[in-house]
Amino acid sequence: MTKKENNVGPKKDTGQVFLVGAGPGDADLLTIRAYQLLLQANVVLFDHLVSKAVMALIPNHIETIFVGKQRSRHTLPQEQINALLVRLAQEGKRVVRLKGGDPFIFGRGGEEIETLAEYGIPFQVVPGVTAASGVAAYSGIPLTHRDYAQSCVFVAGHLKDQSVELDWPMLARPNQTIVVYMGLEGLATICTQLVAHGLPLETPAAVIEQGTLPGQRVLTGTLSTLAAQAVDAQIQSPSLVIVGGVVNLHHKLSWFI
């Protein structure tokens, strides 16, 4: 693979890459643009968060390549995924890079198209319904509400060196909803730190497993109880954590069965 020099742009036979958001799981939440591109692709590179329902929409004649990453278990390192996108496009292929949720929200989409830009590969970005909005909606938990939350913050809860590195003082503010992506492993730490930085023990909190899918489970509690509840219920990934007064609306507004 040779990097383009002097910004001359791609050759005429160079393909194109479409960075596509697959949404949170329910195939009905896929955008029309995303669906059209899946039908027109030569090859689809997909992550582990792309649901089986979405993958079932891809015609059998289209090549699919799994490049998923789960915590420290990577089918391909990110650098190799970037290189693969470049190589497939340089071969003249129409490539769909399919990512769960929205590719620009904790999806490393920016890193991938940075590489494409460096090699002069044409690309487009198709947004998707991010997990925060999709899963919250299917859980009956509004992310904002005049009586409970006037702001909403998205954070990634990845563990690093057995700790979760977040801006706790910023998160532990009243009248705010916190949505934690990939927060299940560090749930106990997240709850403890939010309380240590000022949120009351009785602050409502929820963890949603398999959001928007038929197996969806919504577990509600408080910062003092949720971590233990999640262990007892054997909650598994993919899951999303929501903290704030809006969680109290779940039982009243829940609609998805």
Residues 48 and 147 in one domain: no
Cβ–Cβ < 8 Å for 105, 155? no
Residues 196 and 98 in one domain: no
Among 26, 22, 35, 94, residue whose Cα is nearest residue 63: 94
pLDDT tens-place string over residues 190-237: 999 999 999 999 999 999 999 999 999 999 999 999 999 999 999 999
pLDDT of 12 strictly over 60: no
Residues 227 and 141 in one domain: yes
Q: Which of 71, 97, 126 is the last residue of a domain?
A: 126
pLDDT tens-place string over residues 115-163: 999 999 999 999 999 999 999 999 999 999 999 999 999 999 976 565 6
Q: Is residue 11 part of a domain?
A: no
Q: Is residue 10 part of a domain?
A: no
Q: Is residue 8 part of a domain?
A: no
Q: Is residue 193 part of a domain?
A: yes
pLDDT tens-place string over residues 28-81: 999 999 999 999 999 999 999 999 999 999 999 999 999 986 555 556 899 999
Q: Is 26 a catalytic residue?
A: no
Which CATH number does the domain housing residue 96 bear?
A: 3.40.1010.10
Q: Is 11 a catalytic residue?
A: no
Residues 162 and 122 in one domain: no
**pTM tops 0.95, yes or no:** no
Question: What is the spatial distance between Cα 236 and Cα 234, in angstroms, rounded to a whole number?
Answer: 6
Residues 206 and 249 in one domain: yes
Residues 155 and 176 in one domain: yes
Measured distance between the N- and C-terminal CA atoms of the chain, rounded to whole angstroms: 49
Considering 13, 26, 69, 99, which one is annotated as catalytic?
Answer: 69
Cβ–Cβ < 8 Å for 225, 125? no
Q: Is residue 157 part of a domain?
A: yes
Domain that holds residue 110: 16-126
Residue 14 has a pLDDT of: 85
Number of structural domains, the chain?
2
Cβ–Cβ < 8 Å for 198, 172? yes
Q: Is residue 242 part of a domain?
A: yes
Residues 165 and 67 in one domain: no
Considering 4, 12, 26, 47, which one is annotated as catalytic?
Answer: 47
